[in-house]
Amino acid sequence: MATEPYIAIADLGFSYAQGTRPALTGITLTVEQGEYVGVIGLNGAGKTTLGLCLNGIIPHMLMGEQTGTIAVAGKDPGVVPVREMARIVGMVFDNPEFQMSQVTAAEEVALGLENLGVPYADMVVRVAEALAIVGLTGYDERSPMGLSGGQQQRLAIASTLAMKPSILFMDEPTSNLDPIGKEEVFEIARRLNRDEGMTIIVAEHEVEVLAEYADRIIVLHEGRIALQGTPTEVFSQVDTMAALGLRVPQVTEFAYRIAGLGAGPVADPGARAGTAPGLTSPVAQLPVKLSTAIEWVGARG
Amino acid sequence: MQGMNVSVTHVRGTSWLHRMSPIAKLSWLLAIMAFAFASYNPWPLFAIALAGIGMAATAGILKPILRILLVFAPVTASMIVIQAIAPAICQNTCTPATTLGPLTLYQEGISHGLSLSARVLSMEIIAIVALVTTNPSDLFSAFARLRVPYILNFMVSMTLQLIPVLTREVQIVLSAQRSRGMKSTGFGSVIPSFVPVFAGAFERVQQLSISLESRAFGSTGKKTSYRQIEFGTLDRIIAVAGLVVGLVGTVVGLVFWSAGQTPVIILPVWLTVTVFLIAAVMFVGVVIAALVAIARS
Amino acid sequence: MTETQNGLPGSPGAGPILSVRNARYVYPRGDVVALEEISVDVPVGQSLGIVGQNGSGKTTLTKLMNGLLRPTSGSVIVDDLDTARHPVQVLAAHVGYVFQNPNHQLFAPTVADELAFGPRNIGVPEAEIAERVAEATEFFRLGDILTLHPYRISFPLRKLVGIASIFTMRPKVFILDEPTTGQDHRTTNTINRLIHELVDRGSTVICVAHDMPLLADVSERLIVMWNARLIADGTPREVFADRAVMERTHLAPPQITQFSMQLPGREGRAPALSLDELVAEYRTPGRLAGKEA
């Protein structure tokens, strides 16, 4: 694994060349090495854009106006070529099939290595390792188009892992998968984070899963950071999240209402949020996981 | 809806043809094509076509070959038919061979048709035999090894894979439209499916290109290859033999079997009529099928 | 297995609107059995959810329901029509199928044209088409985008247009294929509300989905597919409570339901389907008395 640690973003802004409004404004955040970060927000909030800034696709491939600074493992993606950032940041996207291009699975995994000119002997080892991590050993000769959605997504992950990045950004990786596929992908992310110390950044709608595994949650709203903090800190702000049109784990909302913090059901999530609310200190520390919620109820009596 | 096979034409196997290096096969294919263009005399070309079928039989792929040929046969047949009744090569002085009802079959026309179809058939069969016995992966590795530009290689590979994918997409779109009561099933109904399929293809290419770029696709440095294809001593001998034979054959073809050297082929009348009728049936069959498809839309 | 309901009040003795009888489906090439013998009756006006992993047969089942596929054996009767005897185009007036990806449906130059396409195909007179388009525009709140090209509007809006373009055909049965997959919370709520409204109007709505909280809220009946077979059929409450089925199929009930099933002092009670329900339960005095729900 690479030794560089972290990500530092200061006042990052980006507008697509053909965009009508800025996709990102004033983004300031840091990510420590080995952190598991969840990014949530409505469609169009800027999650994908943020991810593409990490490996330099923005601004090298997707044109637009970028302001502010961003450093990933000490390098500036705006300056360093994408092929170099590819060794540091691996990217996985939401449509498994759209990431496939090779005739066999092994070649798909080897693609990045071929592009980097990795010697053949090393390639064989790394392809085998990557397939093993995602549980696709033996699938070498299979056609990627013939695999299930979950398998394809695991293959996509393997094809980034072969390049040995220290950061993995996944943009709604499970949105097109069935429950088993979702489980498989989240399981791999958890293992990579816990066993390999990889920095994981996942943009997702599955708040219950993120609450379970993420160290930190970043909430994007219309291109800005509306909230950030630990899952407990973020999800406890049930009213604020609702005003942003976002869900919190069901057990958290339950605790919120039981604790008398809300008069009744939260505000209609369909209502427009108006200006993004700033950081508010949570009224209480509510449980965000199933297990802690049970304890919490027990403690209340 | 996953579960598709990419290789439209590849049939797995362990025959001698399968085991031959793709570079050697390409070399021979090139040789045959050069010879086919040089020769006008249909007999050597038909001999090659037959040899191709023979090779297919020894490699155990006779059935798939014949099935694919069935698709291409009408094209070949059309050449014979058209040339027989309306020969392109003679200006005024065509000799009628026989008459079939209102149609006059011209000697030169039949001869010319045979030459054209022999040329096409020989190239077709050898090319199909080569493709069917070669794993697409290996084929592209062979191209890469032969210094075909990476981008070109990739584009062809991608296109081949997209064919079954886009076919599937068209089918889904047609199901969706039928589920909205769209009645036409022929040609015209496929048109509305173009927009959704193109939109889908566009989206796919967008996300794919970002995914590829994120895996250092745009690198200009030296690339290595994961897929190693065999090109051992025997394969090299075969490949060189192919090039030599191709060169020699082309010269022979130009000298002995070119258009100027080939006399008009005169077949017995019964044979002429038989050949014409078989070709006509195949040809007319396809035309009718096409018209029906258009009419139903 | 629960009793199936009778027909709507006021139509005594009405049979099921959709009846799948011993239907089996085998793919013509490769002899893959996509669906083993399955029988299911759907009463008029029911809101049915179908769950299962990809490949479990649920999509095959829905395609049998609208006639896109004909059963290899057995039969499917929709609104008194045998799907084997009528082309899909004719059945389309009775069963509307909304595809998961709206892009597969939308091809017309404007949203209004999309809405008119279906009814025009099934022979609705032009005057009435205009009326139906107006109705759909209001129901789905598409007024602002009627003249826009379907590919110029956002993906969530396209999903709505997809449903709306089936709505104008006024089928008695709606089949929605994964309506909220990949959608954010706001869009999911809109679809949720839509399904409720369709059911309120008397439509039969069949929802294939992985979104358990959605189904817990909109479906009165759930069937679970696994390995080309129907292995559970009951109310969401019954199905979620059936741990064996949930484990076997690798499906998980909504978090709130799992939560309610693990809470001490709630043994013997049926699991909660929604937050409102569980919250109300907790606010009622005597909640931990262990009484039956």
Neighbour tally for B9: CB within 10 Å: 16
pLDDT digits (tens, 9 = 90+) for A200-258: 999 999 999 999 999 999 999 999 999 999 999 999 999 999 999 999 999 999 999 98
The full 3-state SS of chain B, as one line of letters, equals: CCCCCCCCCCCCCCCHHHHCCHHHHHHHHHHHHHHHHHCCCHHHHHHHHHHHHHHHHHCCCHHHHHHHHHHHHHHHHHHHHHHHHCCCCCCCCCCEEEEECCEEEEHHHHHHHHHHHHHHHHHHHHHHHHHHCCCHHHHHHHHHHCCCCHHHHHHHHHHHHHHHHHHHHHHHHHHHHHCCCCCCCCHHHHHHHHHHHHHHHHHHHHHHHHHHHCCCCCCCCCCCCCCCCCCCHHHHHHHHHHHHHHHHHHHHHHHHCCHHHCCCCCCCHHHHHHHHHHHHHHHHHHHHHHHHHHHCC
Among C107, C114, C129, C151, pick the best mutation site for testing chain B contact (most B Cβ within 10 A).
C107
> Mean pLDDT over residues C93-109, rounded?
92
Which residues on chain B are in Cβ contact (under 8 Å) with A87? 216
pLDDT given at position B14: 80
User: What confidence tens digit (pLDDT) does each residue in C123-133 have?
Assistant: 999 999 999 99
Determine whether B217 is exposed, middle or buried from the number of CB atoms within 10 Å of its CB (0-12, 13-18, 19+): buried
Element (H, E) at A37: strand A36-40
Chain C environment of A246 (Cβ under 8 Å): 184-185
Rounded to an integer, what distance in angstroms lies between the CA atom of residue B141 and that of residue B148? 10
Per-residue b or e along B237-270, where b marks 16 or more CB atoms closer than 10 Å to that residue's CB: ebbeebeebbeebbebbbeebeeeebebbebeee
Is some CB atom of chain B closer than 8 A to the CB atom of A159? yes
Kindly tell me the burial class for residue C234, based on how many C-beta atoms sit within 10 Å of its own C-beta (0-12, 13-18, 19 or more): middle
Judged against a pLDDT cut of 60, whether residue A270 lies above it is answered with no
Reply yes or no on whether the pLDDT at A267 is more than 70. Answer: no
CA distance C150 to chain B (A): 10
Beta bridge partners of C73: C24
Q: What band does B272 get if pLDDT is binned at 50, 70 and 90?
A: confident
Per cent of chain B over pLDDT 90 is: 7
Average pLDDT for residues C58-73, to the nearest whole number?
A: 95
- Note if the bond before B64 is cis, omega within 30 degrees: no
pLDDT of residue B7: 52
- Among A43, A183, A212, A289, pick the best mutation site for testing chain C contact (most C Cβ within 10 A): A43
Provide mean pLDDT across the span C42-67.
95
| 3 state DSSP class of A78 | coil
Q: How far is A106 from chain B (nearest CA, A)?
A: 8
- Does residue A264 register a pLDDT over 50? no
The answer to whether the complex's ipTM is over 0.85 is: yes
Nearest CA to B209 out of A19, A93, A116, A110 is that of A93
Axis-axis angle for helices B150-178, B187-213 (nearest 10): 140
Which tens digit of pLDDT belongs to each residue from C252-288? 999 999 999 999 888 888 999 999 999 998 888 655 4
Bridge-based pairing state of the strands B96-100 and A224-229: unpaired
Query: Could you tell me the end-to-end alpha-carbon distance of chain C, in angstroms, rounded to an integer?
Result: 20
Contact across the interface for A86 and B161, Cβ inside 8 Å = no
Q: pLDDT per residue over A43-55, tens digit each?
A: 889 999 999 999 9
- Check residue B92 and give its pLDDT: 63
C133-142: long-range contacts at Cβ-Cβ below 8 A with a sequence spacing of 24 or more? C133/C168, C135/C168, C136/C164, C136/C165, C136/C167, C136/C168, C137/C164, C139/C164, C139/C167, C139/C197, C140/C164, C140/C167, C140/C194, C142/C111, C142/C115
Mean pLDDT calculated for residue range A13-32: 93
Q: Mean pLDDT of all residues in chain A?
A: 89
Q: How far apart, in whole angstroms, are the C-alpha atoms of residue B30 and residue B23? A: 11
Instruction: Determine the pLDDT at residue A4.
Output: 47
Distance from CA of A185 to the nearest CA of C (A): 14
> Which of B167, B179, B204 has the highest number of chain C CBs within 10 A, making it the mutation to test binding with C?
B179
φ, ψ dihedrals at B99, nearest 5°: -120, 150
B217–A152 CB contact, under 8 Å? no
| Alpha carbons A149 and B1: distance in angstroms, whole number | 9
Mind telling me how many Å the CA of C147 is from chain B's nearest CA? 18
pLDDT tens string B21-69: 888 898 999 999 998 888 888 888 889 989 999 988 888 888 888 888 8
Distance of CA A166 to the CA centre of its chain: 14
